[in-house]
Chain A
Amino acid sequence: MLNYTIRRLMFAIPTLFVISFIIFAILDLSPGDPTGNLPLTIPPDVREKIRESLGLGQPFPIRYLKWCQQFFVNEPLNLIENWTGWTIGDGERLRVTSWSTRSPVVDLIAERMPQTLWVVGMSYVVAILIAIPIGVISAYRQYSLFDQIGTFVSMVGFSVPTFFTGLILIVVFSVNLGWLPSVYDTTHKVTDWSSFWVQVRQMAMPTMVLALATTAQLSRFMRASMLDNLNQDYVRTARAKGLRERSVVLIHVLRNSMIPVVTVIALGVPAIFGGAIITEQIFKVNGLGALLIIGIQGADIPLVQTLTFLFAVLIVFFNLIADLLYGILDPRIRYD
């Protein structure tokens, strides 16, 4: 297992470098001009100076290596300094800096991260908690009324995009009923029970919208996996041993059915971050998705590069997690 982990890790590192290069190259080729949004009264030679001050004068490979140094060396060192309070070297390092705000990109991301994590993380947890029991029951009572309703709701969750469900929820719960706020207030601080309640209410809709889509997918997956396993011979053996039906299903069948589902859950984490981009726009959540959109609109290439690369890191990382979980859950893989 250790060997397997190390092998997978060794593979992840070059993968990430290749991805970072591709992202850097593609964004470099894109036609955006960081001075495009500046007032037209600024003369061309001043614009050229501004471009140079942003580091655009240098050739492509140099800029890539500089970015690598900033991102892979300077930023981590900076993080370590912030966490531990030490000073490494002289503490003066060039950081990846946003073109439009002139502040370090990592600080911007750190600022936006909590909102996204709350909404995305919570929606994922909610989705998993709903999807697994639904999947188990739908499979165990295949073709029952419960299963039929589950199938229908999943179809809806699958086929209706989040920007549509989001708007429907806003129309129903904010506009017509007035129960929930339609805009997520990022500056809200939880200090006591009543402010906690406000937080819960403002999180409810974005979380539910994201959770619906994920639940639909996960519960179908869980159901299929359960059905596969319910017909296996070992289930009959478990019954023939005189186990309670509950133990048969919730210990023997569930444990086997979870193996593929857990991998899908792990692989789905980066995807749901992507999905959050749209949901954040709808509910005005000031999270990473919103930051990315602002960056794209302002041709803020360092910001977009870093965010895109972080998404790539998430994907590679959760692939690794999925592989490891597979190994942990399935002894047939663990011992190879």
Chain B
Amino acid sequence: MPDGAEPILDVSDLKTIFRTRDGEVHAVNNVSFSVAPGELVGVVGESGSGKSVTMMSLMGLLPSPPAEIVGGDIRFDNEDVRKMNPTRLRALRGGDIGFIFQDPMTSLNPVFTVGYQLIEPLRIHLGLSKKQARIRAAELLALVGIPDASKRLSDYPHQFSGGMRQRVMIAIALACDPKVLIADEPTTALDVTIQAQILELIKGLRQKLGMAIIWITHDLGVVAEIADRVLVMYGGQVVEHALVKDLFARPQHPYTRALLETLPRVDGAREERLRSIEGQPPNLSAHPSSCPFAPRCGHVHDRCRSENPARRMVSAGHDVACFWSPPNAG
């Protein structure tokens, strides 16, 4: 397992702010995590918890202004990403790190053929000729399970179904054999059967290609199925981090516990309806000076309102940002 392995991507204390006309949005607050080669890390959290902004910050994909990375250290293969010059940064994007976005219906350019869009990164990063790139593009489409690959290269995105488009996006992200693949809710916009197919595809590709994967989702069920480790995010912070089995066996943070309770259970009696977590998501207009989950927390006490808990170790490879400990914690 990843223990001890040199991380391929190492992020510490990342802080990203949006300076908008209505004031600041502290979208990412001191987020730290690392990913080892070949590892699959799941990132969960409700909408607006800063998952996408964290990942986009890593690759400098946020529009600036309004976005600004105000602090933190991002290392890819021991290289400081924030100090990279534009040329190196472009090589990182699409070359070393592949990115898959949430909505396959809008993530492809409607006026260019799928082949063109797939060939672009091959030509820039690998310097392939048009002919070589086309051959490789067809291979990639076949790899992600698109039948009749070489013919479909000259089709436009609207001629593909949603699931097929997401496969094309995966092919683009994998085009240059990236060392890290970041998938930002790649199955959220797809229906359940297609979602299952895409999960299978990624599982297979991961074994075949051996890259590290960061898989963002708000579905703990998906995480349980494919991830090695999980980061739970809330209010722009990592509130809990553990191996998947530890997280499901001994969830520490009240937010994680609440998330797990919202999962429909396979065994026990069905509840009347799916439960959701009460209350509003946190206000991100300033640097957090208290626990962001305090207003919605059932175990809140005074300290939570005056101090933002730091991440503390609970057991090897398991940490939580909370003052409270569940009574049966082992």
Which residues in A have some Cβ–Cβ distance to B below 8 Å?
232-234, 236-244, 252, 255-256, 259, 329-332, 335
Contact A239 B107 (CB under 8 A): no
Give the complex CA separation of A332 and B94 in angstroms: 27
Which residue of the partner chain B has the closest CB to A234? B109
Contact B95 A233 (CB under 8 A): no
Q: Contact string, B105-137, partner A, CB cutoff 8 A, digits 1/0?
A: 011111110000100110011000000000000
Chain A residues near B233: list those with CB within 8 A.
Answer: none
Contact B156 A332 (CB under 8 A): yes
Contact B111 A330 (CB under 8 A): yes
Chain B residues near A239: list those with CB within 8 A.
Answer: 61, 93
Is B293 interfacial (CB 8 A cutoff)? no
Which residues in B have some Cβ–Cβ distance to A below 8 Å?
59, 61, 90-95, 99, 101, 103, 106-112, 117, 120-121, 124-125, 156, 158-159, 169, 172-173, 175
Give the complex CA separation of A236 and B184 in angstroms: 13
Contact A233 B106 (CB under 8 A): yes
Contact B109 A252 (CB under 8 A): yes
Identify B111's interface contact among A236, A237, A256, A335, CB under 8 A: A256
Contact A242 B94 (CB under 8 A): yes
Contact B110 A237 (CB under 8 A): no
* Interface of A (DSSP majority class): helix
Identify A236's interface contact among B61, B95, B125, CB under 8 A: B61
Identify B110's interface contact among A236, A238, A243, A331, CB under 8 A: A331
Chain B residues near A335: list those with CB within 8 A.
Answer: 156, 158-159
Contact B111 A259 (CB under 8 A): yes
Chain B residues near A237: list those with CB within 8 A.
Answer: 99, 101, 107-109, 117, 169, 172
Contact A243 B120 (CB under 8 A): yes
A-B contact count (CB 8 A): 75
Contact A256 B90 (CB under 8 A): no
The listed residue with most A CB atoms (<10 A of its CB), out of B95, B107, B156, B172, is: B107
Contact A233 B172 (CB under 8 A): no
Of the A-B pairs whose beta carbons lie under 8 Å apart in the complex, a sample of 6, sorted by A's number, is A237-B101, A240-B93, A240-B94, A240-B173, A252-B109, A259-B111
Additional pairs, 11, CB under 8 Å, beyond known A237-B107, A239-B93, A242-B90: A236-B107, A238-B109, A241-B93, A241-B94, A241-B124, A242-B124, A244-B90, A252-B109, A256-B110, A329-B111, A332-B158
Contact B59 A240 (CB under 8 A): yes
A236 in contact with B101 given A241-B120, A256-B111 (CB within 8 Å)? yes
Chain B residues near A234: list those with CB within 8 A.
Answer: 106-110
Contact B111 A331 (CB under 8 A): yes
The listed residue with most B CB atoms (<10 A of its CB), out of A242, A252, A259, A330, is: A242
What distance in Å separates the Cβ of A242 from its nearest Cβ neighbour in chain B?
Answer: 3
Chain A residues near B90: list those with CB within 8 A.
Answer: 242-244
Chain A residues near B106: list those with CB within 8 A.
Answer: 232-234
The listed residue with most A CB atoms (<10 A of its CB), out of B61, B99, B109, is: B109
Give the complex CA separation of A232 and B109 in angstroms: 9
A242 in contact with B156 given A237-B107, A329-B111, A331-B111 (CB within 8 Å)? no
A233 in contact with B110 given A240-B59, A241-B94 (CB within 8 Å)? no
Contact B120 A331 (CB under 8 A): no
Chain B residues near A238: list those with CB within 8 A.
Answer: 109, 120
Give the complex CA separation of A239 and B90 in angstroms: 8
What distance in Å separates the Cβ of A263 from its nearest Cβ neighbour in chain B?
Answer: 14
Contact A241 B107 (CB under 8 A): no
Contact A241 B121 (CB under 8 A): yes
Give the complex CA separation of A237 and B169 in angstroms: 9
Contact A233 B93 (CB under 8 A): no
Which residue of the partner chain A has the closest CB to B182? A240
Give the complex CA separation of A252 and B111 in angstroms: 8
Contact B92 A256 (CB under 8 A): no
Contact A255 B112 (CB under 8 A): yes
What distance in Å separates the Cβ of A98 from its nearest Cβ neighbour in chain B?
Answer: 49
Chain B residues near A244: list those with CB within 8 A.
Answer: 90
What distance in Å separates the Cβ of A250 from its nearest Cβ neighbour in chain B?
Answer: 13
Which residue of the partner chain B has the closest CB to A241? B94
Give the complex CA separation of A335 and B117 in angstroms: 19
Contact B111 A255 (CB under 8 A): yes
Give the complex CA separation of A332 and B121 in angstroms: 24
What distance in Å separates the Cβ of A46 from its nearest Cβ neighbour in chain B?
Answer: 68
Give the complex CA separation of A255 and B109 in angstroms: 10
What distance in Å separates the Cβ of A191 from its nearest Cβ neighbour in chain B?
Answer: 46
Give the complex CA separation of A331 and B124 in angstroms: 25
Contact B124 A240 (CB under 8 A): no
